[in-house]
Amino acid sequence: MLFITFIGVGSVFAADVDISVISNGNSVINVKAYHYIKSYAKDTGRNYNLNLTHNLNAVDWSASDYYIILNTGTDGSLDTELIEVIKSGTPQTVVLVTLIKNRSDLFVNFDDHSDYPMVDAVSAASLWRKPGLSGLFSSNQEIKDMHNQWIEYIFSKIDEAAGS
């Protein structure tokens, strides 16, 4: 499960926004999600300074303007270590993105985490390309569209918080 907290603004929005991306490990999914987010921000003209940390014990809630929390898993539940990180602070806007492994369906759900009212949440499949040879020779546009949807959700929350 991948929870991502994002706040982002395009070049027509606020400039030089500092965003910490916090993940529950250095998994392939977390790294791909981070790089995809970073590329998408650049491609859409957003002036974001993104920094990734895997050290959950070193989260500093005063280090950035906004936070993205990445959590990966197979069932959509929130990692217990990330729950502790969320409980430890979250003074800024936080968007939680859950990327669920081993799902072949493409989906984006906007979640209500009433236990953590300061956190906006979205979940999606962690699929990055179609399986097999067809994925190697396909544009995988449907999958890109799915990821773009949750990233735009995150960026809209950042824009809201930044007053853009």
Which position has the higher pLDDT, 4 or 83? 83
- Ordered by start, the domain boundaries in the chain are 17-162
pLDDT score of 147 more than 70: yes
Q: What is the pLDDT of residue 164?
A: 65
Q: Is the dihedral of CA 153, 158, 163, 164 positive or negative?
A: negative
> Is beta strand 48-53 parallel, antiparallel or unpaired with respect to 17-23?
parallel
The token pair at 37 is 């987010």
Cβ-based neighbour number of residue 21 at 10 Å: 23
- State mean pLDDT over 149-164: 82
Q: What is the pLDDT of residue 29?
A: 83
- Block residue for tokens 């995809």: 36
Q: What is the pLDDT of residue 116?
A: 64
Q: What is the pLDDT of residue 43?
A: 92
| Model confidence pTM above 0.85 | no
The token pair at 67 is 């936070």
Torsion of CA 135, 122, 29, 88, to 10 degrees: 180
Average pLDDT, the chain: 76
d(CA 21, CA 89): 15
pLDDT bracket for residue 155 (50, 70, 90): confident
d(CA 114, CA 27): 27
24, 82 Cβ separation under 8 angstroms: yes
Q: What is the pLDDT of residue 118?
A: 64
pLDDT score of 8 more than 80: no
The CATH number, out of the four listed (3.40.50.300, 3.40.630.30, 3.40.1190.20, 3.40.50.2300), of the domain defined by the range 17-162:
3.40.50.2300
In 15-160, the DSSP E strands lie at 17-23, 48-53, 66-73, 94-100, 108-111, 119-125
> What is the identity of the amino acid at 94?
V
Cα first-last separation, the chain: 30
pLDDT score of 107 more than 50: yes
Q: What is the pLDDT of residue 12?
A: 46
Range in 5-19, 27-41, 106-120 with the lowest mean pLDDT: 5-19
Q: Of 111, 33, 128, 104, nearest to 77 (Cα)?
A: 111
Which position has the higher pLDDT, 112 or 21? 21
- State mean pLDDT over 104-126: 69
- Block residue for tokens 């502790």: 84
